[in-house]
């Protein structure tokens, strides 16, 4: 691997900024100053930038407790991005695995492993996603029973001509519900409750597949997935 590419892979430097760092004498290879961006590194070469040893990292898989007011996009917009909360080199290379809207909180997976991301999001795998919703209007008694059945049968969302796949709705209280879906349509959960004549005041994703949000993570906090958790998908 070329030295400038190695620097861009292990730091926040772009290839052009890496070349400038080399020209300034900030990079050493095997404890000797190196200025040639095109130098090809050997497996046992030791590289440091500003006296900080560098090492290539493997593919990364993270869970984030997404707070309100954070968006799951690559481009910078009106709100902070999920990747802006991740303090890792080259965090911009991490991509959300599926998305949560700005107002939705809870489990968000991020990775730079495209194959793993595809396994999680592929419609063929019907990966379950569990949400807890706070509703604007009470849903109880016979109306709740009818809503539960309608969710099982499939709902026709506004602007679509194909009903949702069978899902599971459980009422936790008059205005608290847990909804499990197996697909990922645009704003699906909010639109499903709208199709039931209700409105979602707050929405929180609890789990994706067999992976549940770590209860020790406060909103905005994240951690790396264990090998066992990565292997769940």
Q: State the residue for tokens 């990922």.
A: 184
Residues 6+ away with beta carbon under 8 Å from 201: 134, 135, 136
Say if residues 133 and 189 touch (Cβ distance below 8 Å). yes
Cβ–Cβ under 8 Å, residues 228 and 220: no
Q: Could you tell me the sign of the dihedral formed by the alpha carbons of 102, 108, 113, 119, in that order? A: negative
Kindly list the distances between the CA atom of residue 99 and the CA atoms of 104, 117, 153, 155, 167, in Å, as whole numbers in the listed order.
Answer: 10, 12, 25, 21, 19
Residues with active-site annotation: 101
Per the structure block, which two tokens stand in for 186?
Answer: 């645009």
């Amino acid at each position: 691997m070329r030295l400038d590419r190695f620097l861009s892979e292990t730091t926040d430097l772009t290839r052009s900024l890496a070349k400038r760092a080399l020209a300034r004498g900030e990079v050493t290879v095997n404890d000797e100053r190196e200025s040639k961006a095109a130098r090809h590194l050997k497996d046992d070469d030791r590289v440091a930038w500003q006296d900080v040893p560098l090492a290539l990292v493997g593919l990364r898989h993270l869970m984030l407790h997404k707070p309100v007011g954070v968006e799951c996009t690559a481009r910078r917009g009106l709100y902070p991005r999920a990747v802006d909360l991740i303090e890792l080199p080259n965090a911009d290379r991490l991509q959300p695995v599926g998305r949560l809207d700005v107002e939705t909180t809870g489990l968000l997976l991020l990775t730079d492993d495209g194959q793993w991301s595809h396994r999680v999001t592929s419609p063929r795998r019907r990966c379950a996603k569990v949400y807890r919703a706070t509703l604007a209007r009470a849903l109880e008694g016979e109306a709740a029973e009818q809503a539960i059945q309608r969710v099982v049968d499939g709902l026709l969302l506004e602007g679509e001509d194909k009903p949702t796949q069978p899902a599971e709705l459980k009422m936790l209280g008059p205005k608290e519900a847990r909804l499990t879906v197996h697909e990922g349509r645009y704003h699906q959960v909010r639109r499903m409750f709208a199709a039931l004549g209700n409105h979602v005041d707050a929405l929180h994703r609890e789990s994706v597949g067999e992976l549940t949000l770590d209860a020790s993570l406060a909103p905005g906090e994240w951690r790396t997935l264990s090998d066992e958790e990565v292997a769940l998908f």
